[in-house]
């Protein structure tokens, strides 16, 4: 009987240890986003020098519940943070912010002005910019979780946004996501 209790006790300790490791989260402001230089053309230059594949901008609003959810369930995940640090120069921009910045063209503006020029009206908006400063992928709203967010990055990195389907239409992220879900259910 004592051996059974000991075995159950050890199993519970192992289970708690595994769940503790799985639930490790890191602050997105520290581990996901770069400290902005305030000059987007300089941010691009830094991305190029660091061998990044693009610039990722998370357009947010302080009181946005969906932005908060993204930061607490997706952007705080170590595997997401590590992947984005490797591939992207990531910034957060407050669409109501008065912080001054210089846009990709070298024009002085504010975060609010840049977001307006990018036609960001709802939050969050997640935008991938190529290394020439062109917004090439844009997603409005929160993703369902880390997996979908990683699919969004993959959609950009693999150049799926440039591809066309058999009918000659661009492959949108919604279609790519559906294909990924189908592929996942088969495996």
Q: What is the CATH number of the domain that holds 92?
A: 3.40.30.10
Q: What is the mean pLDDT of the chain?
A: 90
Tell me if 95 is assigned to some domain.
Answer: yes
Residue 154 has pLDDT above 90, yes or no: yes
19-23, 41-45, 54-58, 149-153: least confident range: 19-23
Tell me if 69 is assigned to some domain.
Answer: yes
pLDDT of residue 36: 87
Tell me if 34 is assigned to some domain.
Answer: yes
| Cβ burial, residue 187 (10 Å; 0-12/13-18/19+) | exposed
Strand partners, 140: 125
Tell me if 1 is assigned to some domain.
Answer: no
Mean pLDDT score, 152-174: 96
| Cβ burial, residue 13 (10 Å; 0-12/13-18/19+) | exposed
Number of domains in the chain: 1
Band (pLDDT 50/70/90 cuts) for residue 83 is: very high
Note the helical H segments in 50-172: 65-73, 78-87, 111-117, 146-157
pLDDT of residue 12: 46
Q: Distance between CA atoms of 90 and 2, rounded to whole angstroms?
A: 54
Q: What is the DSSP letter of 175?
A: H
**Percent of the chain residues topping a pLDDT of 70:** 88
Tell me if 11 is assigned to some domain.
Answer: no
Look up the pTM and report it: 0.85
Tell me if 122 is assigned to some domain.
Answer: yes
Peptide bond into 54 cis (omega under 30): no
**Percent of the chain residues topping a pLDDT of 90:** 84
To 10 degrees, the CA torsion angle through 114, 118, 119, 125?
Answer: -100
Mean pLDDT score, 10-32: 65
The answer to whether the CB of 119 falls within 8 A of the CB of 130 is: no
Tell me if 111 is assigned to some domain.
Answer: yes
- Range of 69's domain? 26-143
pLDDT of residue 2: 55
How far out from the chain centre does Cα 156 lie? 11
pLDDT of residue 37: 81
Band (pLDDT 50/70/90 cuts) for residue 52 is: very high
| DSSP-derived 3-state class of residue 91 | strand
pLDDT of residue 1: 56
Tell me if 181 is assigned to some domain.
Answer: no
Q: Give tens-digit pLDDT for 92-101.
A: 999 999 999 9
The answer to whether the CB of 109 falls within 8 A of the CB of 98 is: no
């Amino acid at each position: 009987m004592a051996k059974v209790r000991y075995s159950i006790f050890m199993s519970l300790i192992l289970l708690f240890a595994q769940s503790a490791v799985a639930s490790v989260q890191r602050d997105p402001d520290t581990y996901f986003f770069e400290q902005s230089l305030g000059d987007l053309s300089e941010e691009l230059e830094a991305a190029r020098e660091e061998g990044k594949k693009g610039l990722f901008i998370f357009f947010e609003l302080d009181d946005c519940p969906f932005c908060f959810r993204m930061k607490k369930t997706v952007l705080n995940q170590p595997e997401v943070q590590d992947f984005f640090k490797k591939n992207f120069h990531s910034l957060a921009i407050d669409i109501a912010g008065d912080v001054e910045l210089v846009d990709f063209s070298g024009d002085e503006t504010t975060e609010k002005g840049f977001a307006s020029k990018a036609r960001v009206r709802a939050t969050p908006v997640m935008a991938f910019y190529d290394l020439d400063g062109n917004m090439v992928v844009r997603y409005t709203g929160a993703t369902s979780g880390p997996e979908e967010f990683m699919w969004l990055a993959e959609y950009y990195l693999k150049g799926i946004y440039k591809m066309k389907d058999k009918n000659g239409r661009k492959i949108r992220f919604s279609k790519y996501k559906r294909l990924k879900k189908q592929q996942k259910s088969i495996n």
